[in-house]
Amino acid sequence: MNINNQTKETEDILVDDIITSGEQAELIVLNDDYNTFEWVIECFMDLLKHTSEQAEQSAWIVHTKGRASVKLGVYEVLKPLREALVDRGLSAIIEHEKVNR
């Protein structure tokens, strides 16, 4: 096993420990210096079923703020979406959904 696989497994385990089954969570995409706006937009539209306008707005938020919440849902639904985004070269994480009080 190489270090990259070991890191990915560690990240998955940490997230699995924090978010329990059925809990609301958010899929967050992080900014990087490698992916083009066009590619990020295409990924959002293909994988997350965003409209072109929604995908473009999310890409700009990622670019300007360093991260953006791109989908809300239960962990079991978000995990394969995160994996698909990562497989396409994007940086994505899953966190507890933030509740405004």
pLDDT given for residue 95 in this prediction? 94
Give the pLDDT band (50/70/90) at residue 10. Answer: very low
Segment 44-86, tens digit of pLDDT: 999 999 999 999 999 999 999 999 999 999 999 999 999 999 9
DSSP code string of 78-95: HHHHHHHHHHTT-EEEEE
pTM of the model: 0.77
Tell me what the pLDDT averaged over the chain comes to.
84
Q: Which domains does the chain have, with CATH numbers?
A: 3-96 (3.30.1390.10)
**Residue with token string 């992916």:** 35
